[in-house]
Amino acid sequence: MRRETRALEIRGRRFALGPRTWLMGVINVTPDSFSDGGTYFDTAKAVDRGLELVSQGADIIDVGGESTRPGSRPVPEAEEIGRVVPVIGALRRKTQALLSVDTTKAAVARAALDAGADIVNDTSAFRFDPAMPGVVARSGAGVVLMHMQGTPLTMQQSPRYDDLIGEICDFLAERIRVAEAAGVPGERIIVDPGIGFGKSFDHNLEILRRQELFHGLGRPLLLGFSRKAFLGKILGLPPDERLEGTIAAAVLSVERGAHILRVHDVGPVARAVRSAEAILGAGEDNIGAAAADADGKAGHVR
């Protein structure tokens, strides 16, 4: 296993990413998500799902109130706040797991951080809202900077690249510089090449095949491939039947050194990931952590 250890600082806490793969569990508090179609649009159901994901081994719970599926349109700021803040607030009272808010809006991020979020997962990498870098910098929160060509409304309209990996790396390096200039230290930044965001079927496969090249950015690497359309094309199946494809991508990503995997089906993916780590020689400490997870003693970051 070639995972390089990266330091990550989140609101005064320091973590070493590398000894084992972290899992980010997904909660879509939306009526129109591509993957779960509004299953967790109700606040109580979303909170219960978050706690379930923690019990299954999620290190981070990522709560989003605006769909970023291809062709989706923005949600009004107040409505997005109304969706995510009650969920984050309730989860903060019930779990010590790291909480992330999936948003491109500074006001939503600020409200979520005030409610107890630890990370801002910004799919625009600070491009859509000029106030976002300042909000993140002042909060001490971690941030995920993701590559996207276009916007969710336009991103799948014939995406083109001359040098896919090079262009994504250049983009992410530039966004890291923007974040650092705004006062966000490098150790608080996670990078995501944006599988499915302005990428064709072949682009997505190339990112997975060559993902180790993103380690040159020097920051923890997050990948989000769970249930996505390219897996549906391979399998000929709808989103809720793409678990095997998700697991295959997860095991490959473990072997190639990804630090964080953003997934919907935490339980089965966690079992596959821990098995892959043991086979690849993650070490006794990692195997012991997995055993503790099974006993319900180490299911989340403390």
Q: Which residues are catalytic?
A: 228, 262
Q: Which residue has the tokens 């473990």?
A: 254
Backbone angles phi, psi at 14, to 5 degrees: -110, 135
Give the list of residues 6+ apart from residue 274 with CB closer than 8 angstroms, or none. 20, 286, 287, 290, 293
DSSP designation for 160: -
Tokens of 232: 């549906």
Q: Which residue has the tokens 């089906």?
A: 265
Helix/strand/coil (H, E, C) string of 124-151?
Answer: CCCCCCCCHHHHHHHHCCEEEEECCCCC
Encoded amino acid at 120, one letter: V
Quick check: 10 and 98 in contact, CB under 8 A? yes
Spatial distance between the Cα atoms of 187 and 259, rounded to a whole number of angstroms? 14
Tokens of 108: 């939503």
Closest CA to 29 of 17, 39, 19: 39
Neighbours of 190 (CB within 10 A): 25
Alpha-carbon radius of gyration of the chain: 17
